[in-house]
Structure 1
Amino acid sequence: MKSHACTLLAEVRTFRQNHPDVRYVDLIALDIPGHFYGKRYPIEMLEKVAAGSPLKLPQNAVLLGVQGGLFKIGDYCFNDGDPDANRRLVPGTLKPVSWESQPLGQMLITSDGTEAPIEFEPREVLAKVLERLHHKGIHPVVAFELEFYLFDKKLDNGLPQFARDPLSGDADDQPNLHIERLSRFGEVLDDMAQTAKDQGIDITVITAEIGPGQFEINFGHLDDGMRAADWAALFCRSTRGVALKHGYRASFMAKPYLQYPGSGMHVHVSLYDGAGNNLLAAHQQQSLRHAVAGCLELLPHCMPIFSPNHNAFRRLGGTVNAATRASWGFEDRDACVRIPESDPRNLRIEHRLASADANPYLVLAAILVGLEHGLQAKREPIAPLNEDRSSGTDFPLEMLDAVRAMQHQPVLRDKLGAEFVDVYCENKRQDHLAFQQEINAREYRWFL
């Protein structure tokens, strides 16, 4: 414990030496809907925390709804006295914030690894899954890919407007994959990539996607699944900030335009044993088939995680590569679970169903549980799309149905934690019901 404190203290002191103008640091963590919450600490107080002083925040901050409100979930929030819970600093995550008007730092905090971790904190849920896999001798290697849209900074009566081409001044309303779009938006994209690298994130490929103002960023593969999810979460935060600095809005909203493709979170996962052998390639890829079968079996019960809000369900069955049934295939982007072409050493799955605004910790946890379940159950999967284009099993396409499918699934309750599943499902149910409590203009047009 002392060596851990010494490492953190050295990190804070080195940061202060390298960034003497920074007076405050945002200590941040991801809540259930995937938003950061936290506190802004004076740098002097951060040094005391690094040295061992307690760091406490309200436990129920994790339970906030999409709009920041608290829901009654069991005894939480209104019958528990709103207690504080210990958090800890995440080593290696203290970085400068370059997109704000004043010099700032930021650092991840978490309850996992504390004396009493919060069972429904997303990072803690993933930590338990990773720990269990490691005890089984299974070591995931993970890479995220995130799609997002750029919009004009100004909204039109609350509606998004196409991002303006910096060279022509015209709206970027011609959806295509042309490389020139990367050049036209190069200044803001380069700043996003460099800012992410300054946060310690390994940015690799940048792609202009099909939608107007839509792009994709790929991250490097990591043998630390938690760090990979950290990268995805931190990238969303920095990208929004950099976009505003350049006069744009960046959004990871799943389906901002009905007529254009939605934005997804694609997750590449391979599994290795302690000797570095690819477990998915074992027994002439029989283990791969078992893992895929497990993913597909649990996928219909994980929809509140993969599609965490009303808008995310709009993305499914959309114009490009968004399935409406649980399916798999080799080199097939219509499949929920795609097997990219690779040599046995790098054999992996690409899970393509989650929306870009899903919680990366929970998405990865759900995928890993599916793989783990498949390797344990050793069942054969349904036919791949390469053999049968109609292959697939149904999954819920509406939030309340999805919550019902998730809440009582025994494997998820066992491997993600029953307390988490109950809290998460009620959070999603309450968010969905709150979303319905507004009559929109179309409803008046149709029924007034």
Structure 2
Amino acid sequence: MKSHAATLLAEVRTFRQNHPDVRYVDLIALDIPGHFYGKRYPIEMLEKVAAGSPLKLPQNAVLLGAQGGLFKIGDYCFNDGDPDANRRLVPGTLKPVNWESQPLGQMLITSDGTEAPIEFEPREVLAKVLERLHHKGIHPVVAFELEFYLFDKKLDNGLPQFARDPLSDDADDQPNLHIERLSRFSEVLDDMAQTAKDQGIDITVITAELGPGQFEINFGHQGDGLCAADWAALFCRSTRGVALKHGYRASFMAKPYLQFPGSGMHVHVSLYDGAGNNLLAAHQQQPLRHAVAGCLELLPHCMPIFSPNHNAFRRLGGTVNAATRACWGFEDRDACVRVPESDPRNLRIEHRLASADANPYLVLAAILVGLEHGLDAKREPIPPLNEDRASGTDFPVEMLDAVRAMQHQAVVRDKLGAEFVDVYCENKRQDHLAFQQEIHAREYRWFL
């Protein structure tokens, strides 16, 4: 414990030496919908926390809805006295924030690793899955890929406008994959990439995607699953901040335009044993097939995680590379679970179903549970799309159906935690019902 505190204290003091103008640090964590909550601490108080002073925030901050409100979920929120819960600092995450007008720092906090972790905190859910896999001798290596759109900073009656091409000042309203788009938007993209690197995130490939103003940024492969999910979460925060600084809005909204592709969160996962051998490649890749079968079996029961809101379900089908059924294939981007071509050492699955605005901790946890279930059950998967283009099983495409499919699935409840599943499903149900409590102008046009 002393060495842990000493390491944190050294990190804070080194940060203060390197950034003497920083007076405050945002201590942040991701809630269930995937938004950051937290507190802004004076840097002097952060030293005390690093040295061992208690760090407490309301437990129910994790339960916030998409709009920040609290829902009655069991005895939480309104019958529990709104208790505090302990948090801890995540070592190595204290970094400068360069997109604000004043010098600022930020640092991740979490309940995992405390004496009483919050069972439904997303990072804790993933931590428990990873711990169980490690006890089985399974060590995941993970890489996220995130798609997002750039919009003009100003909305038009609440609707997004195409980003302005900085060279021509025209709207970037043409869908393409041209490399020139990277050049035209290089100033903001370069700043996004450098800011991410300043946060400790390993940025690799940047791609101009098919939608107008749409881009994808890939991260390096990471042997620490929690760190990989931290990168994805922090990247979303920094990217939105940098975009505003440059006069744009960056959004990870799943389907901002009906006529253009949505934005996804693609997750590459390899599994290794303690000696560094790729478990999926053993025995003529039979474990790979078992893992795929497990992913596909549980996928319909994890849809509220992969498509966490009403808009995310709009992304499924109707455009390129977005699956409408639980399916898999070799080198096939129409599949939910794609097996990229690679040598045995790097054999992996690419899970392509989640929307870009999904919670990365929960997405990775659900994927790993599917892989784990497949390795345990040792079943053969359905035929890949390469053999049968009609192969696949249905999954829910509406939130209330998806919640019902998730809440009562025995393997999901066991592997992700029954308390988490109940809390999460009720949060999604209440969010969906709250979304319906507004009459859109279209209803008046159709039915008035």
Give TM-score scaled by structure 2 length.
1.00
**Is 2:15 the counterpart of 1:15?**
yes
Deviations 1:239-294 (A, max 9, x none): 00000000000000000000000000000000000000000001100000000000
In structure 1, runs of 5+ residues without a counterpart are none
Structure 1: how far apart are the matches of 2:67 and 2:388?
A: 43
Tell me the distance in 2 between the aligned counterparts of 1:441 and 1:135: 54
Deviation digits for residues 153-201 of structure 1 (CA, Å, limit 9, x no counterpart): 0000000000000000000011000000000000000000000000000
Name 1:394's counterpart in structure 2.
394
Alignment partner of 2:79: what SS?
coil
Give CA deviations for 1:335-377 in whole Å, capped at 9, x if unaligned.
0000000000000000000000000000000000000000000
Q: What SS does the corresponding residue of 1:74 show, helix, strand or coil?
A: coil
Question: What secondary structure is seen at the aligned counterpart in 1 of 2:149?
Answer: strand
1-structure distance, mates of 2:318, 2:96: 38
Alpha-carbon offset, residue 320 of structure 1: 1.0
Structure 2 Cα separation of the partners of residues 394 and 270 of structure 1? 26
1:446 matched residue in structure 2: 446
CA drift of 1:318 comes to 2.8
Note the alpha carbon deviations across 1:201-237, whole angstroms, 9 max, x for none.
Answer: 0000000000000000000000101000000000000
Whole-angstrom distance in 1 between the partners of 2:412 and 2:313: 21
Which residue does the alignment assign to 1:312?
A: 312
Distance in 2 of aligned mates of 1:102 and 1:305: 36
- Asked if the contact 1:328–1:338 (Cα under 8 Å) also holds between the matched residues in 2, the reply is yes
**Cα deviation code 1:17-72 (max 9, x no counterpart):** 00000000000000000000000000000000000000000000000000000000
**Contact persistence 1:166–1:184 (CA under 8 A):** yes
2: CA distance between counterparts of 1:415 and 1:298?
A: 11
SS at match of 1:33: coil
* Aligned residues of 1:60 and 1:76 also touching (Cα < 8 A): yes
State the alpha-carbon separation in 2 of the partners of residues 380 and 52 from structure 1: 51
* Count of aligned positions: 448
RMSD in angstroms over aligned alpha carbons?
A: 0.3
Q: Residues of 2 paired with 1:391 and 1:412: CA distance?
A: 24
Specify the alignment match of 1:26 in structure 2: 26
- Cα offset, 1:147, TM superposition: 0.0
SS at match of 2:205: strand
CA distance in 1, matches of 2:266, 2:228: 12
SS in 2 for 1:326: coil
Q: What SS class does the counterpart of residue 147 from structure 1 fall into?
A: strand
Aligned equivalent of 1:201: 201
SS at match of 1:174: coil
Listed one character per residue, the Cα deviations across residues 292-336 of structure 1 (whole Å, up to 9, x for unaligned) are 000000000000000000000000003110011000000000000
Structure 1 counterpart SS, 2:232: helix
Paired with 2:389 and 2:260, the residues of 1 have a C-alpha distance of 23
2-structure distance, mates of 1:73, 1:64: 11
SS of 1:329's equivalent in the other structure is strand
The two structures have a TM-score, normalised by structure 1, of 1.00
- Contact 1:293/1:380, CA 8 A, preserved across alignment: yes
Distance 1:25 1:438 in 2: 37
1:123-272 equivalences under 5 Å are 123-272=123-272
Task: Tell me if the contact between 1:262 and 1:318 (Cα under 8 Å) persists in the aligned partners.
Answer: no
Question: Over residues 77-113 of structure 1, what are the superposed CA-to-partner deviations in whole Å (9 max), with x where a residue is unaligned?
Answer: 0000000000000000000000000000000000000
Partners of 1:282 and 1:435 in 2: CA distance: 47
Rounded Cα–Cα distance in structure 1 between residues aligned with 2:58 and 2:357: 24
- Runs of 4+ residues deviating >2 angstroms: none
Distance 1:169 1:326 in 2: 42
Residue aligning to 2:288: 288
Task: Specify the SS of the correspondent of 1:244.
Answer: helix
Distance 1:28 1:118 in 2: 15
d(CA) in 1 for partners of 2:193, 2:419 = 38
Separation of aligned partners in 2, 1:162 and 1:120: 38
SS at match of 2:373: helix
Following superposition, the deviation at residue 130 of structure 1 comes to 0.2
